[in-house]
A and B are shown apart, each in its own frame.
Chain A
Amino acid sequence: MIRVTGLSRRAGSKTILDSVDLRIHRGEIFTIIGPSGSGKTTLLRLIDLLDTPTTGTIIFDGIDASASNTVRLSIRRRMGMVFQKPAVLNTTVAENVAFGLKFRGVEKSEIDSRVPEALDIVGLLHLADRRAFTLSGGEMQRVAIARALVTRPDVLILDEPTANLDPVNTELIENLILLVHREFQTTIILSTHDMIQGQRLADRIGVIIDGRMVQTGSTNDIFYQPTGKDIARFVGIDTVLKGVVKTNDGGHAEIEIGTALFEAITNAQPGEKVALYIRPEEVTLMLPDYGSTKTSARNQLTGTITRMVPLGPFIRVTVDCGTLLIALITRRSCKELGFAIGVVVKVGVKASAIHVLPETS
C-alpha cells in the first residue's frame, strides 16, 4: 500500500528522521512505537504528505508522491489523519465532520447522509448540532476520527490518538480503531509511546528511536526478541545481564554470569560474549522454603530483595542474587507472601523466557 524508502528529514543541522525504510501492507494495522521525540510524528506527517522529506521517496499504491502538487493532493485525499491534539473548528460537530467532503466537492445531499453515518460510528450522533468547542477531549478526538472517516479513506493515520486521554476514553478510542479496521478494512497507521497499546492494536510494529526505524516485526518479535539494547529497554525489558557462553548443546546453552550459570535457548557458541534480556513478568519469586520441585523454571537463584517500586497494581521488585534481577509481582502476591526489603527469596526464570543477543558494547 505504502512504500517508504530512505526517508530523511532534517531541520537545520538536526536530523529528525534518518533514512527510514518502511512498507505498509494493505489492510493491516501498523503501529509505530518509540519514546517521545523519536520522530514518530515527523514520519506520520511525511506519510500524510503534510511535509516534504529532505531525502527519500514515498510510493502510495504505486504512485510516486513527489510527482507534483496535484498528485500530492489527490493522494492526500485518499488518506485521513487524526492528530495527537485534536483541533476542531469553531462551528458545529456536524459541520466539522463535513469539511473533508466539502473540500472534495461532494454533493450536499450526500454530505447530509454521510456525516450522520460517520458520527454514528464514533457514537456522537446525538451531539451533531453542538458547538465543537464545548466537547470534552475524548469527544473531540472522536470528532476528529469521524472527520477522517467520513471521506472513506484507504489509509487512516493516527498520531498518538490517546496520548492526552484518560483510561476510559483511551479504551473507547482503541475499540473504535479496531471497529473501523474490522468494518472497512482500512489500512491503519498508528503511533504511540505506549508499548502496551502497540501490542493491543497492532498487526505489525515498527520501533523508532532517535529518528531511526530500528526494528520492524510482529508484536512477538518486538516484545520477546528485540534486536538491540535500546529497543529492549523501551519495550519493558528491565534486566539485561552480560555473560559468556560456556556450553551449547543443540541450542540449549549454559551462560556464565558472574558466579551464576544461566540456561537459555540460543545459537551462540561457547566463548561468545552475549547479553541476556529478561522481561520482568517472566521472573517468578518464591519464599525459599517452598520446594524447588514445584517450578518448571530451569534457572533458580537465591537473593535478597533490595528495592520495591509500586507500578499501579504491580510492584517492581529488585532482587540481588549477585547480579540484579527485576520481577513484576502483583501487590496482592507481595502482601500474601510477605515480600519486603531484606527478605530472602528464590528467583526463577525459564530458559525459554531469556532472550539472548550477541553483546555489542
Chain B
Amino acid sequence: MSEIISGFYQAINLIVTLNPEVMQIAALSLIISLAATILAAVISIPLGGLIHFYEFRGKRILIVIIQTLYSVPTVVVGLVLYLMLSRSGPLGVWGLLFTPEGMILGQAMLIIPIITGLVIAALGGVDRNISDTLISLGATGPQAIVQIVREARLVILSAVILGFGRAISEVGVAMMIGGNIRGSTRVLTTAIALQTGIGDFPFSIALGLILLLISLFIVIIMNLITSGLSVESQQALGGPRT
C-alpha cells in the first residue's frame, strides 16, 4: 500500500516538474492521435455523407458492418496493418512499420468506422422536414446537402472527439505498428504497459494520470458541445450527457 502511495507522490512530482521524458511521451501521443483523428475525419465525414445521401443496394448491410467495426479489437487492426506494412507485405515499400506515420495510419483505420457511423447517425438525426424545407425554399441538391451537414455540425464534431478519445487510449496498434521505440513511437499507453512491466510504477502512474486528464478534458468538451444539442441528437450519440 505504501508503495502505491509513494508511487503516486512521485508521479505527481514527475508531472509538476514537467519531467522531459514524460512530457515528450505525452506530446507524441497527442500529436499522433490528433493527426490520426484529422485523417480519419477528413475521410469519414464525406464518406458518411455519401452513405447517408445516396441510396444504393446493400446500404443497410454496409451500415451494419460499419457499426460492427465500432468495437473491432485494436490488436486485430494492428495485425492486419502489420501484415500490410511488413517488409514482405503489399505496402512494405512504404516503410511505415515502426514509425509514427504507421501509427497514425493504424489509429485512423481504427476510428474511421466510429466517426463514419456516427456521422451517418447525425445526418439521419436531422429532421426530415429540414431537407424538405430546404428543397422547398429553392435549394439545389448540393446547397441542401451543405445545409444539412451544417445542421448536424455539433453532433459530427462530437463524433470526431469521440474518435480522438478511442485513438489516444488504444494500445494494440501503437504497440504492434509503432513498436514502442523510445523517443520515436513510445506513446502514453505503450509506455505505461512497458514501465509497469519493469516495475517503474511512479512513471506509469504519472502517464496514467495524464491519460485520465486528457479523457476528462474530452468529456468536458463533449458536454459543452452536446449541452447545446437537441434531445434527439444527444440520443444519436448514446443518450443525454448532461
Chain A contacts to B: CB under 8 angstroms = 45, 48, 50, 73, 76-77, 79-81, 83, 85-87, 89-90, 99-100, 103-104, 133, 144, 147-148, 151
- Considering the complex, which residues of chain B in the window 43-100 have a beta carbon less than 8 Å from any beta carbon of chain A? none
Nearest CB of A to B185, in Å:
42
Is A151 a contact of B129 with CB atoms below 8 Å?
no
Chain B contacts to A: CB under 8 angstroms = 127, 129-130, 132-140, 143, 147, 151, 230
Is A151 a contact of B136 with CB atoms below 8 Å?
no
Cβ–Cβ < 8 Å partners of A80 in chain B: 136-137
* Known contacts A89-B147, A90-B151, A133-B230; A103 and B139 CB within 8 A of each other: yes
From A86, A90, A99, contact of B137 by CB (8 A): A99
Is A87 a contact of B138 with CB atoms below 8 Å?
no
User: Who on chain A is nearest to B138 by CB?
Assistant: A77
Is B138 a contact of A73 with CB atoms below 8 Å?
yes
Is B138 a contact of A76 with CB atoms below 8 Å?
yes
Nearest CB of B to A261, in Å:
56
Q: How far is the CA of A83 from the CA of B143 in the complex (A)?
A: 20
Nearest CB of A to B176, in Å:
42
Is B130 a contact of A50 with CB atoms below 8 Å?
no
From B132, B140, B230, contact of A83 by CB (8 A): B132
From A85, A89, A103, A144, contact of B138 by CB (8 A): A103
User: Who on chain B is nearest to A73 by CB?
Assistant: B140
Is B130 a contact of A87 with CB atoms below 8 Å?
yes
Most chain B beta carbons < 10 A, residue from A83, A99, A148, A151:
A99
Is A104 a contact of B151 with CB atoms below 8 Å?
no
Nearest CB of A to B135, in Å:
6
Q: How far is the CA of A221 from the CA of B235 in the complex (A)?
A: 51
Is B130 a contact of A147 with CB atoms below 8 Å?
no
Cβ–Cβ < 8 Å partners of A45 in chain B: 132
From B130, B137, B140, B151, contact of A100 by CB (8 A): B137
Q: How far is the CA of A81 from the CA of B134 in the complex (A)?
A: 10
* Known contacts A99-B147, A103-B143, A133-B230; A85 and B129 CB within 8 A of each other: yes
7 residue pairs from A and B, CB less than 8 Å apart: A73-B140, A80-B137, A83-B129, A87-B129, A89-B147, A104-B138, A147-B133
User: Who on chain A is nearest to B152 by CB?
Assistant: A90
Cβ–Cβ < 8 Å partners of A79 in chain B: 136
Cβ–Cβ < 8 Å partners of A90 in chain B: 151
Is A100 a contact of B129 with CB atoms below 8 Å?
no
Please list the 3 inter-chain residue pairs (A to B) with the smallest Cβ-Cβ separation, ordered nearest first: A87-B129, A77-B138, A81-B136
User: Who on chain A is nearest to B137 by CB?
Assistant: A100
Is A147 a contact of B129 with CB atoms below 8 Å?
no
Q: How far is the CA of A81 from the CA of B129 in the complex (A)?
A: 12
Nearest CB of B to A326, in Å:
40
Is A48 a contact of B151 with CB atoms below 8 Å?
no
Nearest CB of A to B178, in Å:
40
Q: How far is the CA of A151 from the CA of B136 in the complex (A)?
A: 11
Nearest CB of B to A345, in Å:
51
Nearest CB of B to A92, in Å:
13
* Known contacts A50-B132, A89-B151; A147 and B127 CB within 8 A of each other: no
Nearest CB of B to A299, in Å:
51
